[in-house]
Structure 1
Amino acid sequence: MNPQISIVVPVYKVEEDFLRNCIERILEQTYSDIELILVDDGSPDQCGEICDEYALTDKRIRVIHQINRGVSLARNTGIKNACGNWILFVDADDWLEKDACEVLALAAQKYKDCDIIQFRAYQNYAVNEKKLDTSIKSNYIYSSESIDDMLFVYRNGMQTPNFRKQSIAVATSYFVWDKMYKRKFLRENGLEFPPGIKISEDKLFYLNCLLKFNNMVLIDDFLYHYRANELSATHKYAEDFDDNRMRLLEVLGNVAAIMDHKIEEMQKKHSDIIERDLMDFAVVAASGVIVNKYYHKASPLSPLGRWKASDQYLKNTFIDKSIHSINFHELTNKNKLRVGFMKLKLYGLLAVSSRLNRRGGGRTLSKK
């Protein structure tokens, strides 16, 4: 008989204490009808051996070793091998509340017609934690047959949080680890994480889920602990960061077009709402490329080379259109500065202001 919940944990270069804590918190769940799939993504350290060690102690654990192919394909391996009725993704340095699976199993019974069950999460720092916000209504079933529901969930997933004063999205809107997915829903719709997209792959996965879902719900229970990591991939130097961001924007452009078409069919009039939300994302993504690649301290470019590379990147038709279509009055003060520096081609000042803002308390929520 299939377990009720499959928990998929991609494992790659995780601190031993974090990995052990993650696994042990899952094994200590008050609800036992689970399976734990540990996907060792070719980790070059002792992570694979640690996974095997735990598998010897609990028959609910399956360890899959594969060559390093990235977190997206590691999660896809988990989806393909999962036997549970529901699939839950956990990052290897995070952990669950001890009753998380029990609460989710009860929710699965209550909301049996839902394809996605979302829940609440904590963000944990070294010495404290905070409750992460959400813009989703609690215990309300969002339906793909409602124009208002569709507009809200589409925009909540596509928008950049806190870019505009009237933003409805928050930082966790499209994360993968605060949601449980019906396995049948994922399998029947061929929903997987996108290979070749190294950053924001969870955003694209979630948006593709929104194109196919029938019903989804948020339960107002804090079940997940996200370990904050300010050394995220978006802040590390990566040679292909700019190309990766451009590929993501191209794919998201196709998704936005499909979403706007669905909205048009439902409201019987033209819609470019989701495309405009994507344009905001494009501006923020482009500024991230400038700050975290061209003006990164590890960049081999000369000062003039950094400026030229930044200027060339912003000449992309969609990014240029996005920057110059923005109404300053609709932006938060921080983003007025961001867009102003980009329009004036003051890329060095953009990088400096971004780093000052980060030191002043701005924290990333992405570990990818």
Structure 2
Amino acid sequence: MKISVIIPVYNAESYIGRCIESVQVQTFGDWQMILVDDGSNDNSLAICQKYAEIDDRIQVMHQENAGAGAARNTGLTKALGEYIVFIDSDDYVAEYYFELLSNHTEDVVFINVEAVDGNGSIVRKEYLSVYKNMKKDDFMRAQMTGKINWGGVRKVVKREILEKNNIKYSNHKVGEEALFTYCSVYYSQTIAFIEKPAYFYILRADSLSHTKMDDPWGEVALALKAKTLDNGSYAKYADTVNAFILTAAAVSADRLAVNYKREEYRKKIESLYISLIDKLDKAYPIDYNHMSLKAKFLGKLLLGRHFSLIRAISRSKRLMK
């Protein structure tokens, strides 16, 4: 069984070597690595090419800067493996990752991830295996709303599933993994979990909590709604789509509360509320069961027009991360 590893690379000269080498030392050796340079303006491309010169399992592609989602899609065009593994260029994987994966035959395999600091010390454990006994429908709904992390690197998908159903990453600046994750699970017949921590990511300043966008998930939620309409699953998942739309609004409300002074905040939160009411499908309920507690709390406050309370809570506790 061959494994295809796709790594989008953008200005990663300081850490791409560690990422590549963590794959080269895998105890399972039948893999193909596709490095996609996404218009880097540092030495990333040259470093990638140097590794490719001495290891014929490594292939380098280059494109004008288009974002991580587009870079992963580019890599998919050259993938030959049975399974597709995604790794971010500033992260690294355990040497046993691929060997554990080689023991699986399921359509989608989720992995356990640990967040580490610059010294490699564990800051947070993010184990998807805690959901291994959850019904697939509940698991997918919780991922649709973001209650369970999407994360392209958190799962491995059979190439056959991706190609057969034309599953690709979206071009959103934030949340480009959401539709990919939903489609991968939706079209899968079987899923599994690797319980030993296999992936380690460095906490980065460009994470969702640091991205300077008032509404990072709003367009993603609408894109997910469009996807369910397209594949005929909307009637079944409309309540969860409503929940994701509300979650996106809750994330936005929190950001507005923190980033704007009172008068400007009031204008923007009023506009957000009007937009939210327009986006929600009144013919269906809101699936609160598959929303995070934080999103549910702020979402209900937003629907109740408790704008001052949202501002007070968000500015004092920063509930939404």
Task: Indicate whether the TM-score tops 0.5.
Answer: yes
Superposition deviation, residue 73 in structure 1: 0.8
- 1:306 alignment partner in structure 2: 265
In 2, Cα distance between equivalents of 1:118 and 1:181:
9
**Aligned residue runs from structure 1 range 1-368, under 5 A:** 4-14=2-12, 16-107=13-104, 111=105, 114-126=106-118, 127-134=121-128, 135-137=130-132, 149-161=135-147, 170=148, 172=149, 174-195=150-171, 197-229=172-204, 231-238=206-213, 242=215, 245-256=217-228, 261=233, 274-292=237-255, 294-295=256-257, 297=259, 303-316=262-275, 317-319=277-279, 334=294, 338-339=298-299, 341-343=301-303, 345=305, 347=307, 350-351=310-311, 353-358=313-318, 364=321
Equivalent-residue separation in structure 1 for 2:310 and 2:163 (angstroms): 43
- Aligned with 2:88: secondary structure? coil
Change in Cα spacing, 1:231 to 1:39, as seen in structure 2 (3 Å) is closer
The AA in structure 2 aligned to 1:191 is: I
Deviation at 1:7, TM superposition (A): 0.5
3-state SS of paired residue (1:6): strand
The CA deviation at 1:192 is 0.8
Given that residues 257 and 275 in structure 1 are in contact (C-alpha distance below 8 angstroms), is that contact kept between their aligned partners in structure 2?
Answer: no
> 1:261: Cα distance to partner?
4.2
Quote the offset at 1:63 in angstroms. 0.9
Q: Secondary structure at the match of 2:55?
A: coil
Answer with 327-336 or 310-319: which moved more.
Answer: 327-336
1:136-163 C-alpha deviation (Å, 9 max, x unpaired): 327xxxxxxxxx94423332322342xx
- The 3 A distance-change label for structure 1 pair 331 and 210 is closer
Cα contact 1:41–1:67 (8 A) shared by 2: yes
TM (norm. structure 1) is 0.74
In structure 2, what is the Cα distance between the partners aligned to 1:96 and 1:124?
A: 12
Q: Measure, in 2, the Cα distance between the counterparts of 1:335 and 1:261.
A: 24
Percent identity, aligned pairs only, is 25
1:12 and 1:329 map into 2 onto residues whose CA distance is: 38
Aligned pair count reads 316
Residues in 1 aligned to 2:207 and 2:194: alpha-carbon distance in whole angstroms: 28
Displacement over 6 Å in runs of 4+: 325-333
Query: Equivalents in 2 of 1:201, 1:180: separation in Å?
Result: 16
CA offsets per residue over residues 47-88 of structure 1, 9 Å max, x none?
Answer: 222212222221111111100111111000011111222110
Q: Are the counterparts in 1 of residues 108 and 185 from structure 2 also a CA contact under 8 Å?
A: no
Listed as ranges, the gaps of 5+ residues in structure 1 are: 139-147, 162-169, 263-270
Partner-residue secondary structure (3-state), 2:111: strand
Q: How many Å apart are 1:353 and its aligned residue? A: 3.0
CA–CA separation in structure 2 for the residues paired with 1:152 and 1:219: 19
Contact 1:193 1:204 (C-alpha < 8 Å) held by counterparts: yes
TM-score (normalised: structure 2)? 0.84
- The one-letter amino acid paired with 1:253 is K
Report Cα offsets for 1:177-215 as digits up to 9, x if no partner: 1211111221122111123x2221211111112232222
Per-residue deviation, residues 239-283 of structure 1 (Å, max 9, x unmatched) = xx53x6333222222344578848xxxxxxxx65x3223323222
Q: What's the CA shift for 1:175? A: 2.0
